[in-house]
Amino acid sequence: GCVLVVSVIEQLAQWHNSTVKAALERLCDYIPGKYQIICHMFCCIDREMNADVVCHSLRLCKQDPGQPLCHLYSPPKREKHSSGFFCALAHARPKCQIIYKIFMGFSSVCGFPLLANLCEKFKYVLRNKLPFEDFDGDKFSTFPTLRGYHWRGRDCNDKNTTVYPGRRPDNWDAESDSNCNGIWGVDPKDGIPYEEKFCKGAGSKGVVLLGDSAGAHFHIPPEWMTVTQMSAKSFANLPMAFSDELDWPQFSEITGFLNSTIGGWTDSLYLRLRKRNRCNHRDLQNISQNVYFPINIAPYLSFSLARNQLLDNPAIVIYATIGNDVCNGDRDTLAHMTTPKEMLSNVVQALRYLDSHLPNGSHVILTGLVDGRFLWDNLHDRYHPLGQLNKDVTYSQLYSFLDCLQVSPCSGWLTPNETLRNLTSERALQLSNVLKEIARSEKFANFDILYMDFPLKQTAEEWHKMGGEPWQLIEPVDGFHPSQIAAALGTGITWQKALREWPQVLGKENPFNAQIEAIFKDQGGH
């Protein structure tokens, strides 16, 4: 994080031909309010020091005994041999001692008074994967971020625990909107409740995603580090992004519902289900998390899933941990990957929990793992946004830097070692076959199980037909996650497969959709 921020400051100075101090002030002017504490930490930067030297001098970066020296940039040019870095560091440290002492006066970034409250909120939502603002405790919220309605359908009464998206209507919602789909009241022409008239027998279903950072739609805006295009507008979304954990579920492939503001367009399984049956309005849950290690979903389902077997509509549950079971930042990455035996145990455990909580008539779709060799093949020799100004940082360099720090999102795929990349894909295929066998052989009382491969190949082919390049399907800053374009294209491919092979999952098209929109158009907002 330090290296990224310092790189931006130094490039701002270069681009605007200004001093580092002026560039720092410019960046601080761009960044909203309380987040400016981040940029004020770096007032000791010198144009002669690269970002690695500054961050080591601040002691935000360090070299542990017996570990290699991790750096994103080439060592300073004053000396070609390795001691050039340490010479620059000795020159820099005195300038940074005051900032270092101030910073170390707090136990962490969360120790800063202006950020402490925000950190406490983060800890709550990360621990529980539930809305921070939820006054009635029904796991739905009227607040967008901090696991609010960007992640789950918006609550329409946060003071009544029996009112929430996805429930079966109470007395056909003759007097109030108990399921928050905007349809309620009685038709004065015949005295029949609108919910009964339009939604009875329509097969209403919600959509639930159990996923990883790809499902949460992790995204760091490239404009945050592209100095040639940087302005205050670039950081307008920073508070929202931080309070959503740098995820954008509101634009995602499964639960997206807002028009994308991060490039591309929004298309999602939820939006298509809603278009097919307007009674499905707001019935969505994105239970995904940003972790770079194998996920056993079962333990946190008990407190994060919101579905009442007796009171709620059935749901389509997408189980999609497309990379975490083979991705980690460990040096011996293969030893830390999920084994087929562990995969079988973890998934069956989650399915048993779902069977005890999902309403009858639900469906579970298991999604296979991605073949991540696509990442290295299409990005390694391209310039990262940080390297575009001076042509000095490729994705290969970024991957090596993260791997050295042991924080790589996927050491097995983001590596120049072709053998390791192939072994990682072999394990991913083995785990996908486990999922395929579960779908074939396991039976549950309240849902059927289906399997589909992750549609990367079809997505790339579709994008090529549209004139696009493969690298555009990958997030530009982290060089790892699917981009907004990939998410939208993947939705269309998945939907067409479902129409052909699983029409029972999608349900019937509601013949009253137009009438619902005409009567309740002002109550259809998300």
Active-site positions?
Answer: 213
Q: What would you measure as the largest C-alpha separation in the chain, in angstroms? A: 88
* Residue 125 C-beta-side C-alpha neighbours within 13 Å: 26
Q: Are strands 447-452 and 315-320 parallel, antiparallel or unpaired?
A: unpaired
Closest CA to 289 of 280, 277, 279, 301: 301
Both structure tokens of 90 = 């000795």
DSSP category for residue 208: E
SS3 content of the chain, % helix, strand, coil (to 5): 45, 10, 45
- Which residues partner with 107 through β-bridges? none
Report the alpha-carbon distance of residue 211 to residue 289 in Å, rounded: 7
What number of other Cβ atoms are within 10 A of residue 230's Cβ?
20
Identify the H or E element spanning 240. Answer: helix 238-243
Q: Is residue 149 within 8 Å of residue 164, measured between CB atoms?
A: no
Q: Is residue 139 within 8 Å of residue 130, measured between CB atoms?
A: yes
Closest CA to 277 of 508, 505, 498, 504: 508
Closest CA to 473 of 337, 353, 375: 375
Closest CA to 182 of 278, 269, 313, 316: 278
